[in-house]
Amino acid sequence: MDNSEENQQQAQSPLHDSLFGGDSDRESNLEESARSPSRVADQHDAINTVDALIIPPLQSLGDDQARVSNWEKDNPYLYSTWVTEPTIMSIVTTLKEAIGTDKEYTVQFLHDGVFSKLYDVSFDNQAFIMRISLPVWRHAKTESEVATLDWVGRYTSLRVPRVRAYDSLGNGPLGFEWILMTKLEGKPLFECWESVSMGLKERLVKQIAVFSASTFNQPFHGGIGSIYQPCMTNIDEVAPNPNASIHAVGEAVSMALFQGYRALLDYSRGPYFRISDWMESRLRFASSNLMKRLDYATDNSEVGTLHQLLELTRNVKGLVPKFITSSTTLSTILCHDALSLDNIFVNEDGIFMGVVDWQCIVCVPPHEACQFPAFLQQKFDRFRDPIRAYYLTDEAYSRELRRYEVTQLRKIYIEEMIDRAPGFVDIWRESANLRDYEAAVQNCDNEFTMKRVEKWVNAMENGGDPAEMPKRLHEQLME
């Protein structure tokens, strides 16, 4: 293959304006573009502040939580594990209580996740998925997922599972929190990417862009956090009035706030009314998690790495004033940050069927929400169709073909966003520096990305400009 051509392909940053076309001078105001009913949480005069790092005692598990789950140390991490396993009989008993005793239920185990187990459930000739969850963040995790699915189903055109019933307390015969939701037809796009035509992929991207525009045009004003339905006890009891203010922002259900030892820390989880609070809170959780890992570290190499990560996390926190200049409250946007090929479902003909996995969804600042969905993110764009004869293996050719196709789909996505929500693209272009800092916050406690983040932080501490770095940090950290 012609190396000069390949180098030219990879030299183009995926964030370069030439990718988008269109008029970059078009203006849009985030507040003025809102078209949804107001979903304003009670505004508090007090602002969440983050003090210097002081690790509180780890919270003990309640009796009910300890009965069904346990926290186990497997150096260097802490995992939530199942003390008791759900049984098919207990699931059927739970369904009879929740749905009715006059139905024939079929239940089959489907998948074992990090914090949950999935089951196929069928009755009345209908297919459902039941997610049974460990109580890693009791009540809030289930309630926020139910509220998020309801909001997306009500205020956007995106197809998502509909909740039939749920239990966010875990007090029933099952003993766990659970959600029963309709099952989307099809399979993950990851399993059939190569067999789906480019035309159908383009159509799918346009549908995702419609969803992105809908969320952008319907911001929340209750701070950074997950959404909830405060007055709702059952999904079918919600008033049908589409203008009812039933969703409000509450504490953030985010992996960054409960993964590992974080779940046992007695820190505030929001909602956050300033970007700096959101940044500093995650850094505080990260630092505390690292220090607890140090308590159990026995290998000298691991101890050294953890000390490096702690120092890096503190240095990232020191950069807050450089990147966060405003102390005002902000509007936020509901953002599915794991909109990947695994969560996008298509049928056997390649037709888009919907999106799954709505756990841990947070309303985030515009600079986090206004970017490509996960399945369209890549380090380098390719602007020319690869020629098969230039590649020694099918794998190498397929990899470059996918890069080329994703580049074309990225163009289509931006064209759609310019048309449907021009302010989205404006924010995206203007907030590259803040996205670099966001990448540092998210990755400063990760030993696998430590060197790249450390190099970037050192440059920033010495007065560097993110735009003048050889490669944007958030681009470097893309898969």
Q: 428 is in which domain, residue-wise? A: 3-46+187-253+327-476
Q: Distance between CA 41 and CA 222 in Å, rounded? A: 5
Same domain flag for 133 and 96? yes
- pLDDT for the residue 17: 37
- Classify 220 as helix, strand or coil: strand
Evaluate whether residue 348 is within a structural domain: yes
Write the CA distances from 138 to 65, 90, 91, 168, 288, integer angstroms: 8, 20, 19, 8, 21
Evaluate whether residue 51 is within a structural domain: no
- pLDDT for the residue 258: 83
**The last residue of a domain, from among 150, 182, 214:** 182
Dihedral Cα 277, 251, 368, 371, nearest 10 deg? 180
Model pTM score: 0.81
Q: Distance between CA 350 and CA 341 in Å, rounded? A: 13
- Classify 209 as helix, strand or coil: helix
Same domain flag for 337 and 472? yes
Evaluate whether residue 301 is within a structural domain: no
Evaluate whether residue 260 is within a structural domain: no
Q: Distance between CA 202 and CA 68 in Å, rounded? A: 45
Same domain flag for 407 and 345? yes
Same domain flag for 228 and 144? no
Same domain flag for 21 and 132? no
Residue reference for tokens 């307390």: 169
Evaluate whether residue 308 is within a structural domain: no
The dihedral built from the CA positions of residue 466, 470, 472 and 477, taken in this order, carries a sign that is negative
Same domain flag for 136 and 222? no
Q: What is the CATH number of the domain that holds 106?
A: 3.30.200.20
Cis peptide before 76 (omega within 30 of 0): yes
Evaluate whether residue 277 is within a structural domain: no
**The last residue of a domain, from among 157, 182, 207:** 182
- Of 172, 175, 73, the C-alpha closest to 133 is 175
- pLDDT for the residue 208: 97
- pLDDT for the residue 277: 92
Q: Distance between CA 347 and CA 442 in Å, rounded? A: 34
**The last residue of a domain, from among 182, 197, 224:** 182
Q: Note the Cα 325 to chain centre separation in Å.
A: 25
Evaluate whether residue 53 is within a structural domain: no
Digitized pLDDT (tens) for each residue of the chain, 479 residues in all: 444 444 444 444 344 333 433 333 333 332 232 223 233 333 332 222 222 233 333 443 444 444 444 445 554 455 566 778 899 999 999 999 999 999 999 999 998 887 889 999 999 999 999 999 988 888 899 999 999 999 999 999 999 999 999 999 988 888 899 999 999 999 999 999 999 999 999 999 999 999 999 999 999 999 999 999 865 433 343 333 444 458 999 999 998 888 877 877 888 898 999 999 999 999 999 999 899 888 888 888 889 999 999 999 999 999 999 998 876 667 999 999 999 999 999 999 999 999 999 999 999 999 999 999 999 999 889 999 999 999 999 999 999 999 999 999 999 999 999 999 999 999 999 999 999 999 999 999 998 999 999 999 999 999 999 988 888 999 888 86
Q: Distance between CA 25 and CA 42 in Å, rounded? A: 36
Same domain flag for 115 and 212? no
Q: Note the Cα 188 to chain centre separation in Å.
A: 17
pLDDT tens-digit profile of 204-220?
Answer: 999 999 999 999 999 99
Q: 353 Cβ partners below 8 Å, 6+ apart? A: 159, 184, 185, 186, 345, 346, 347
Per the structure, the count of domains in the chain is 2
User: Quick one: which H or E segment has residue 73?
Assistant: strand 69-74
Same domain flag for 220 and 151? no
Same domain flag for 108 and 228? no
Same domain flag for 132 and 219? no
Same domain flag for 126 and 212? no
Q: How many CB atoms lie within 10 A of CB 26?
A: 11
Evaluate whether residue 426 is within a structural domain: yes
Same domain flag for 88 and 165? yes
